[in-house]
Structure 1
Amino acid sequence: MISLHFEKISMYPRHEEPCMMAVPFAKGAVSDTTRVSVLDGNVAVPTQTRVTAKWPNGSVKWLLLHFLADLPANSGKAFALSTDRVTAVPAKPVVIEPVNGTFVIRTGAIEAELTAPGGMGLFQSLKRTGFVPTHDVVGPSLRDASEQEYDCEISAEGWRVIEAGPVRCAVEARGKHRGRAKESHWLDFVVRVYAYAGKPWLMIDYQIVNKEPESEQVIHAAQLHVRSAQHIVTSDQLRLGISRAGADRRMKSGSAGERLSCTFTAEVLEKEFIEDQAETFAGTFWADLSDEKQGGITVTLFQALQNCPKSLDVTGEEITVGIIPAGHPITMLQGMAKTHRLFLHVHDGDETLEEVNVRSLQFQLADHPVLESAAFERAGIIESIPGDQTIDWVERGFYRMADGRTKTYGMLYWGDAPDKDYTAQGRGGGDWVWVNNEYDLPHAMMHLYARTGKRRFYDYLMRAAEHWKDVDILHYSPNPLRHQGQVMHSAKHVTGEVKICHEWVEGLLDYYHLTGEASALEAAIGIGDNVRRLLATPRYRGEGGISARESGWALRSLGALYTETHDEKWLQSADQIVDHFEAWKKKYGAWLAPAAGHVVYRSGFMICIAVNSLMRYYRIRPEERIKQMIVDAMEDYVEHCYVKETGMFYYKELPSTQHLHSNPICLESLSYAYEFTGDLKYLEAGRVTFEEAIRFAQGSGKTREISGEALIFWGDSPKKFAQYYYPIFYYYRTILKAEEETGRLQQEFFAGGRRK
């Protein structure tokens, strides 16, 4: 049995609430997924399973579960996961059936007939089961600078079934937007529709993708319309709601002939009180159009405030959903994408204002089960520290680093943040330089979430990964050395270079396991393919011609992709890097990088990146030469880069760059050297760096500023947590183990802070 727990959220009870979770398993633990069930007490609840990763022997490594949970009002609740109970199915399963060249989704509460291949919009009809449609869902559509309208046109391939139920159904279609006035097409799209057993609502992810040949495209509006059906003409009840934390509940009702509207922009939000960790929750934004006798429909924009600008306008005839509001154009550079999430709730005519609002809030802050951390440890996903051995000031430092990052509201910025230092260095040419998930923030958050079970760390991971796979990756480029690549930190996200030292994949793979969204896996594989194309260029062929940092990060990504897919092509490219490291060391006696045309020097930070990536390769292929390379590199690093009288390492070997460097990435490398040799000198050399990294972690920032379409809440650069967390954690864990084994480190390492 595996324990899972829901924390207290809603003050209302939820019956058979759709929930999602991902569970990792140790090699060989689970092979038969038909005997996996979520248990409420001793009762198996309806559960749907899907394998997202396997071990080399074919057993399940990651299992995605959708299940229906009865959750109490104003209280948490414990469940369990059994791997020895026949999986239960819902009383009213969601089904998808082929009809007239397309599909119909039936949840038991609603029916959605999807648009046929070559058709416009998403739905031919959407209605309550047993009723006629009360409203038509039209679009989405785009508008350009010339006021030309473009409707989304489903491609000839039509819809692809991703999940067929019985708890959740998911389908996907692709296409381009077709002009109404002339036979032209503009901007690609991908749309996914999700439906749930017994439930009267759908979730829609609508991704706009810029694969146009020009350098940028300006979208002057993107809209979805919900219109009263012809037999109703005018709905007698229109409602609009903005519900925020605390007592801020600006809900309005109107009647035929009236209009309700609201637009969120960065300028509006700058003046609002915001105290939530907004990756988790910032309120809701919805509009409703209904007829007392026939029923109605509510549209909720997911995280509308964070993804501003957004708007809603409702009259007796229609709801206009401003995915990109008219009057607030958005510029998308070539290769960019952006996903917009909406919820459509089809209900009967007596749904109250409060009931509509509560359901909308539930969409925004869904119930999320948390696994016991031991499950991640048993599966080898994380290394844990027993609760009775943790050190309170170290744990506080982790929390402050995770929470104290700079965060940004704005459609193309949410999930990312600018870096003040990079900007001050002039790297953006006067514009803010965006971090672009440098050092893989989602993967660091995944480890912290798995260790602690704190919901907000999960949400930090989700938002950063969603931004990354949309905005920071080139979904299209005519240059094969940029196509599919992750762009390094730059102005406007995608104006920078694509280099193998700034391409990561592990956080995207984490996101894929946690959600089942194949777009994240596809993005990770695309990045890997880009790395392989770059490795084939002359730049990466000569010993010492590049820094250890560049090929070190590439090695880490290639190893992660091999572990995920078991495809040997990733290891073939990784082998090239490892052989390169070996030849490089033989040529210079150490990993030395070129500088100023006449010097080769040690860059400790970059050497440690290479060591940390080599260790991941060693876990795949435990060869003696890899172990020796790691030990030799760290012996050389401590001998030449450690400034003994300060207890710290310098930045680079050149006299012009020999200032002290407090970056803790070396702590992970020193830990590996200790594990291979048992020599405490490696851990002792990292003590001051460890202590300073934790003690100087800052809390959440208080200042905010508007920059164009972005509202920035200042804190530390996001790259700091992404880069610092795991090396500090691994060293922390290693010194605790070393103390237990030797008894020699306690006085030095723990005098500055008490144990829990």
Structure 2
Amino acid sequence: MVNVYFEKLYRYERKQEYVGVAIPFKKGEYFDLDKLSVVQKDKKLVHQAKVTAKYDDGSIKFAYVRFLADLAANKTCFATVLTGKETEEELKEATGITNLDALSLENVSKLSCNVNKEAGTISVDTGVLKFSLANNSSNIFSKLEDGYRDYTEDNFVGPNLSVKNRTSEDSFKLDNYSFNIDSWRVVEAGAVSAIFEGKGHHDLIEESENGAKRIDFELRITAVSGKPYLDVAYRIINTSDNPLEINSLEFFVKADVNKACDNELVDMAKALHESAGGDSTGCGDGAIDNSKTSGPVFHTRGINDLDDILSRTPVDTVRTVAARSNYKTDFYIGRDGFNANVIADDKGLLKEGNEHFAEVLYGTFFADRTDEKSGVCATIYQAMQNYPKAIKADKNGIGVMLVPENINKVVMQSGMAREQRFLLHFHGPEESMVEIDNRSLIYQMPDLGVISPDVFRESGALMDVFPTKLDDDVEIALINRCDAHDRNYGMLNWGDSVDQGYTKQGRANGKPVYSNNEYDYPHACALQFARTGTRRFYDYMANHASHWMDVDVCHYSKDPLRIGGMWEHTGGHIVNGIMVCSHEWVEGLMDYYHFTGDERGLETALGIGENVLRLLDTPMYAVPGEANARETGWALRALIALYVETNDKKWLSKCDWILDSFITWEKQYGHWLAPYTDNTLIRVGFMISVAIGSVMRYYRVFPRQDLKEMLIRAVDDLVDNCLLDNGLFYYKELPSLARNGNNTLLLESLAIAFELTADIKYLYPGFKTFKKTIGENVRAGVSNKTIVDDAVHVAGDSTKGFAQSFIPLITYYKALTEAGINYEDIR
């Protein structure tokens, strides 16, 4: 029995809200999900569940459960996942009765998500929407019915792609592309929801010199039982050999098949003769007086004056709305089909104040068109974070501009991908604008189910990051370190971090060097979410994993050593980038899969693993000691993680080879020394610690006495040779480099030695490093913003800091509590 908690969030009740949660299980306890159910008060909830990971004995490690819950207005609530093994007492505690069969099933007769496949077409009926997806089509939907209007394929246009083909730095010609869906498949389907993936391509319409002839894309549509909306995700992939400068990328819903709305964008403030100044925080301090406004467009902030304005913009002459929010929603409402639009660009973001953790919420961004027959609203997910964006409504329909023309610059390097999402909400003419706004905001910040950290700890499904005794100062420091990262707005930058250290070293010739999620920031955030239940750590994980899967992984290349691999930190994410085993991670992607149910996390991790195997066959890794401990250490960590996840022995094929190289390396040099200058072999403590941590992860799965002894010798060597008189470890073992070190990876090595021996002596050398790190003044919050190339950079620390330090800090912290040492004792 697992209680799933929903924090107090929205002021309105949500009936049968679509939610999902990851449930971990103990090894050997559950082998199928047949008896799993979800209950809330005295009702069973409609649910669907899938296994996302198994233990090596075939039992379930993780399941992802989707269900429709009733969520209370303005207060917390919970639902309970039952496994079928509850005692009568536990069942009574959860439901109030001892016979689960006596519970009614929540509105099951009104719900359906029927999926039929035949003759290259997938037909879907959610109980509210009916639509079809056809192979070999030039439209997303071949038809759609919402109960108010019947749409044909011609009502849906694109996304259409236009590219700037540069003939010189200052001149270009436009290459326009067709939109072609090759095939659809059902990713997942059940009583609650269905997910569909389409693969397709854009073809160059007219022959063009140096123009890319084909650009691939993927589509993903999520439909929910009983709901009038669809989540649409479009992922463009630069399958050309050159950078792709996108001129525009636009999707249209036409009210009439004969004409779509154009892509003209209007400055709404000028259209209303409003001052461009005012409160940039959107806090709504200044009221907007519409008493003397005659239209055809009206402006209001918040929902208090909506009724008055809507009465002056009747749907029988076509009402248009465009809106975005920061605090309260700014509505531009048009009469007689007047063009209403909103724009997200770098200059607007630079001058706009926003106090949210933007991974969780910045605001909403939508357009709605309603006539006397029906309406449709489109909401772009995280539009400001993924600028440039625009959205508009006019008499002819809706325009969703994933890249609007002539607003900022988007250049995708070869092999890059990037997904953008939007919600299509179909409704009747009577639908209230309050509910349209409400649904759009919920799309930006959906309700999230959270389970107790005790469930994760007791399951053993995750790394043990659960100290038995918590210290407030340590917890505050860990939270601050996670929150203090910088943020980089921009379609290709959101979900990544600029590393100022690398940048100042000149690694990108003065350009910002993106960390490319170095040290696996999503993994650290996933573990922090599991141990605290704090919502924003989940969103940090999800946003960074999304960017990682798209931008930081190579989706296309003529070089097989790049395909599926992860780029090392570099300028422009991948410009002049390389791939090496020391900068390829997989654990955060698998966490993302478990916590979201999105199988692409696992698929991306597997692709990185394949790339690691290919790299290990290159000459660089042929001689033990020639590649430093970090290189093969990280490779070992990735491969053993993939084996634990999949139980596929192919991932072990190189593990014994790496371990043998470590053994040979130690014998050859006496310890894990690394070549530095042509005539030196030195100790690099943090690189040795990477090797120790990786070998220990293998040891936990396959215990061996020789590995245990090698690990202890390595830690002993670190303590004997790398510790300075002041209690800190040095950076590297050369007079020119033996400065005070600040790398926390050595703390994990000490915790590992304690785990292997239970000898408290291994914890003492880490006191000064731990104390210094926890005591550092790290602050999260709003910081200065600058426009740098295609990014609005919000200053902060690189995510590398938290990603690198979290597991060492938490494992050492846990070891202290197990040894009976309180943090206050070492302060």
If the TM-score is normalised by the length of the shorter chain, which range does it land in? over 0.9
Structure-2 separation of matches of 1:100 and 1:413: 41
Shift of 1:58: 1.6
**Structure-2 change in CA distance of 1:374 and 1:230 (3 Å):** same
Structure-2 separation of matches of 1:61 and 1:707: 44
Post-superposition Cα deviations, 1:320-371, rounded to whole Å, max 9, x if no partner, equal 2110111134110011000000100010111122121111111111111101
Aligned residue number for residue 521 of structure 1: 602
The reply to whether residue 597 of structure 1 matches residue 678 of structure 2 is yes
Number of aligned pairs?
738
Shift of 1:226: 1.0
The reply to whether residue 750 of structure 1 matches residue 824 of structure 2 is yes
Structure-2 separation of matches of 1:207 and 1:444: 26
Structure 1 gaps of 5+ residues are: 740-744
Post-superposition Cα deviations, 1:522-541, rounded to whole Å, max 9, x if no partner, equal 11111111111111111111
316, 327, 330: which one aligns with 2:406: 327
Shift of 1:245: 4.4
The answer (yes or no) to whether the contact 2:319–2:336 under 8 Å persists in 1 is yes
Aligned residue number for residue 171 of structure 1: 196
Aligned residue number for residue 742 of structure 1: none
Aligned residue number for residue 547 of structure 1: 628
Structure-1 separation of matches of 2:59 and 2:780: 42
The answer (yes or no) to whether the contact 1:241–1:357 under 8 Å persists in 2 is no
Shift of 1:130: 7.1
Post-superposition Cα deviations, 1:418-443, rounded to whole Å, max 9, x if no partner, equal 11110010111111000000000000
Structure-2 separation of matches of 1:634 and 1:181: 64
Post-superposition Cα deviations, 1:566-625, rounded to whole Å, max 9, x if no partner, equal 111111111111110000001111001011111111111100110011110001110111
Aligned residue number for residue 654 of structure 1: 734
The reply to whether residue 681 of structure 1 matches residue 761 of structure 2 is yes
Structure-1 separation of matches of 2:251 and 2:16: 30
Aligned residue number for residue 303 of structure 1: 382
Structure-2 separation of matches of 1:467 and 1:27: 32
* RMSD, aligned α-carbons: 1.9
Correspondence 1:238-253 to 2 at 5 A: 238-246=319-327, 248-253=328-333
Structure-2 separation of matches of 1:32 and 1:500: 36
SS of the equivalent of 1:148 reads strand
85, 97, 102: which one aligns with 2:121: 102
Structure-1 separation of matches of 2:638 and 2:317: 57
**Structure-2 change in CA distance of 1:220 and 1:130 (3 Å):** closer
Aligned residue number for residue 176 of structure 2: 149
Shift of 1:197: 0.5
Aligned residue number for residue 45 of structure 2: 45
SS of the equivalent of 1:657 reads coil
The answer (yes or no) to whether the contact 2:24–2:63 under 8 Å persists in 1 is yes
Structure-2 separation of matches of 1:616 and 1:173: 38
117, 121, 143: which one aligns with 2:139: 121
Aligned residue number for residue 553 of structure 2: 473
The reply to whether residue 193 of structure 1 matches residue 193 of structure 2 is no
Structure-2 separation of matches of 1:6 and 1:698: 30
639, 653, 658: which one aligns with 1:577: 658
630, 647, 666: which one aligns with 2:711: 630
Amino acid in structure 1 at the alignment position of 2:644: T
Post-superposition Cα deviations, 1:479-502, rounded to whole Å, max 9, x if no partner, equal 122221100100010122100000
Correspondence 1:398-417 to 2 at 5 A: 398-417=478-497
The answer (yes or no) to whether the contact 1:663–1:693 under 8 Å persists in 2 is no
SS of the equivalent of 1:650 reads coil
Larger mean CA deviation between 317-326 and 455-464 belongs to: 317-326
The answer (yes or no) to whether the contact 1:382–1:451 under 8 Å persists in 2 is no
**Structure-2 change in CA distance of 1:142 and 1:231 (3 Å):** closer
**Structure-2 change in CA distance of 1:241 and 1:427 (3 Å):** same
Structure 2 gaps of 5+ residues are: 85-99, 165-172, 262-315
The answer (yes or no) to whether the contact 1:152–1:189 under 8 Å persists in 2 is no
Structure-2 separation of matches of 1:653 and 1:614: 22
130, 133, 142: which one aligns with 1:111: 130
Shift of 1:475: 0.7
Shift of 1:386: 6.0
Amino acid in structure 1 at the alignment position of 2:115: I
The answer (yes or no) to whether the contact 1:140–1:151 under 8 Å persists in 2 is no
Structure-1 separation of matches of 2:162 and 2:368: 24
Amino acid in structure 2 at the alignment position of 1:350: E
SS of the equivalent of 2:376 reads strand
Amino acid in structure 2 at the alignment position of 1:75: K
Structure-1 separation of matches of 2:772 and 2:506: 28
The reply to whether residue 361 of structure 1 matches residue 441 of structure 2 is yes
Aligned residue number for residue 245 of structure 2: 218
Shift of 1:182: 6.2
**Structure-2 change in CA distance of 1:181 and 1:371 (3 Å):** same
Structure-1 separation of matches of 2:59 and 2:559: 40
Aligned residue number for residue 71 of structure 1: 71
Structure-2 separation of matches of 1:38 and 1:120: 41
Structure-2 separation of matches of 1:273 and 1:605: 39
The answer (yes or no) to whether the contact 2:214–2:239 under 8 Å persists in 1 is no
SS of the equivalent of 2:501 reads helix
The answer (yes or no) to whether the contact 1:127–1:346 under 8 Å persists in 2 is no
Structure-1 separation of matches of 2:729 and 2:663: 24
The answer (yes or no) to whether the contact 1:242–1:283 under 8 Å persists in 2 is no
Shift of 1:215: 2.8
157, 160, 168: which one aligns with 2:185: 160
SS of the equivalent of 2:336 reads coil
The answer (yes or no) to whether the contact 1:291–1:349 under 8 Å persists in 2 is yes
- The sequence identity of aligned pairs, in percent, is 38
| TM-score under structure 1 length normalisation | 0.95
Amino acid in structure 1 at the alignment position of 2:185: R
Amino acid in structure 2 at the alignment position of 1:55: Y
Shift of 1:679: 2.7
Shift of 1:243: 4.0
Amino acid in structure 2 at the alignment position of 1:321: V
Post-superposition Cα deviations, 1:235-282, rounded to whole Å, max 9, x if no partner, equal 833433434343x32112112352112211111111111100000001
The answer (yes or no) to whether the contact 1:553–1:613 under 8 Å persists in 2 is yes
**Structure-2 change in CA distance of 1:497 and 1:101 (3 Å):** closer
The reply to whether residue 56 of structure 1 matches residue 56 of structure 2 is yes
Structure-2 separation of matches of 1:251 and 1:269: 18
Shift of 1:518: 2.2
Larger mean CA deviation between 326-335 and 450-459 belongs to: 326-335
Structure-1 separation of matches of 2:666 and 2:690: 15
SS of the equivalent of 1:617 reads helix
Shift of 1:151: 3.0
SS of the equivalent of 2:151 reads coil
Structure-2 separation of matches of 1:64 and 1:661: 42
Structure-2 separation of matches of 1:166 and 1:482: 40
Aligned residue number for residue 487 of structure 1: 567
SS of the equivalent of 2:627 reads coil
Shift of 1:152: 2.4
The answer (yes or no) to whether the contact 2:324–2:342 under 8 Å persists in 1 is no
Post-superposition Cα deviations, 1:14-60, rounded to whole Å, max 9, x if no partner, equal 11011111111111222231211121024210010111111122221
475, 483, 489: which one aligns with 1:395: 475
Structure-2 separation of matches of 1:286 and 1:715: 30
Structure-1 separation of matches of 2:763 and 2:456: 27
Aligned residue number for residue 291 of structure 1: 371
The reply to whether residue 609 of structure 1 matches residue 690 of structure 2 is yes
**Structure-2 change in CA distance of 1:130 and 1:304 (3 Å):** closer
SS of the equivalent of 1:15 reads strand
Structure-1 separation of matches of 2:450 and 2:721: 46
Structure-2 separation of matches of 1:674 and 1:55: 27
SS of the equivalent of 2:807 reads helix
Structure-1 separation of matches of 2:754 and 2:77: 43
Structure-2 separation of matches of 1:315 and 1:57: 59
The answer (yes or no) to whether the contact 1:382–1:450 under 8 Å persists in 2 is no
Amino acid in structure 1 at the alignment position of 2:824: F
